[in-house]
Amino acid sequence: MTILVTGGAGYIGSHAVQRLLRDGVRVVSLDNEFRGHAKAMSLLAAAHPGRLTYVKGDILDSVLVRTLIDTHGIDAVMHFAAHAYVGESVQDPLTYYRNNVTGLGSVLEACEGAKKPVARFVFSSSCSTYGQPPAGMIPVREECPQDPVSPYGRTKLIGEWMLRDFAESRRVAGKPFACTFLRYFNVCGCDRSGLLGEDHAPETHLIPVVLQAALGQRPHVGLFGTDYPTPDGTCIRDYVHVEDLVDAHVRALGAMKDGQVRAYNVGIGKGYSVRQIIEAVRAVTKREIKVVEQARRPGDPPEVFNDPTLVTRELGWKPGMTDLHAIIDSAWRWMVTHPKGYAG
């Protein structure tokens, strides 16, 4: 089997490429390196000689994508390529719609127009499609109303609609196709072998932000809101380790059947508060971290975490890492040895 991984040089995409290579799959990775890292691809190519083809290119180039599908005999696509900053999407929505929506359409055009049309598609979606779930629907199940509150969340929901419509057109035409959406919560941690890590610019994810403060790369950590109706007054979120998230993608691909469109939430099924994250980082790193308490950010719900019942029942998926200290340790070990990310 040969799989095309779009956004393969990014944080989640590179970990997916690594897992597929370890499973003996041939991989073609496509990334425009806007926020992806060619270094991650070179490391994986060296570790798995002859089985990874990396191409710097854009998903908006449908001719390029179709050429890759035809040249390498692609059997399935894992689509990670997307801009993914909520705040940035509010400031620059057109870029998000162009990349996340038009880009997905470009990939689907290539899948349809290839000499051997691609029949399997795993879509990296997001829990942001739910917006702010009603209090009575937490933990969040797949039937929770999808009502995104940001352009980013809307692009992901539109992506799901596009895939549903595309799948229906293939079904009516009698052509094989199946797709699965993975709506995941806060992704965290790093490859436990130490080869790959998390390197964003700018960095907005809570765990690496706190770890950067532990490294002295930030003067403090902002604590936005301390009066939420939670046990310690700070927001609670679900954190899923990146390797567990990738495992869900692999399981989803293996479980597909022609004509099916499935959606699964991926998270550990419980939440950790911001204060718990900070204290866990202090415990793991054994370093002091300055915290500056600030006002709440608009739109932050007090508590959001996942109900993994469906993904466990249908895919047999269970998170392998739920201990917060172990999750943070996997990220810390990479950051200590790569204080400048993939640059050094």
> What CATH number should be reported for the domain whose range is 2-206+233-272+281-343?
3.40.50.720
Token reading at 306: 């996942």
Domain extents for the chain? Answer: 2-206+233-272+281-343
- CA torsion sign, 91 to 93 to 94 to 100? positive
Residues 6+ apart with CB under 8 A from 75: 1, 2, 3, 118, 119, 120
Closest C-alpha among 296, 307, 157 to residue 229? 296
pLDDT along the chain (344 residues), means of 10: 98 98 98 98 98 98 98 98 95 98 98 97 97 92 96 97 98 96 96 97 95 97 96 96 98 97 97 97 97 90 94 97 96 96 90
Residue 62's pLDDT is: 98
Residue 344's pLDDT is: 74
Residue 334's pLDDT is: 97
Closest C-alpha among 107, 149, 110, 105 to residue 126? 149
What separation in angstroms does the CA of 306 have from each of 68, 205, 303? Answer: 36, 18, 10
Residue 315's pLDDT is: 98
Distance CA 274, CA 294 (A): 13
The residues carrying an active-site annotation are 152
Other C-beta atoms lying within 10 Å of the C-beta of residue 22: 12
Whole-model pTM: value is: 0.97
Question: Which DSSP category does 296 fall into?
Answer: P
Closest C-alpha among 20, 56, 177, 172 to residue 111? 177
Residue 301's pLDDT is: 87
- Rounded to a whole number of angstroms, the CA Rg of the chain reads 20
> DSSP assignment of 101-113, as one string?
IIHHHHHHHHHHH
Helix 103-113, helix 62-72: angle, nearest 10 = 40
Residue 297's pLDDT is: 85
Strand residues in 16-135 grouped as ranges (E): 26-31, 52-56, 76-79, 120-124
317 near 248, Cβ under 8 Å?
A: yes
- CA torsion sign, 201 to 203 to 205 to 209? positive
Please report which helix (H) or strand (E) contains residue 41, including its range.
helix 38-47
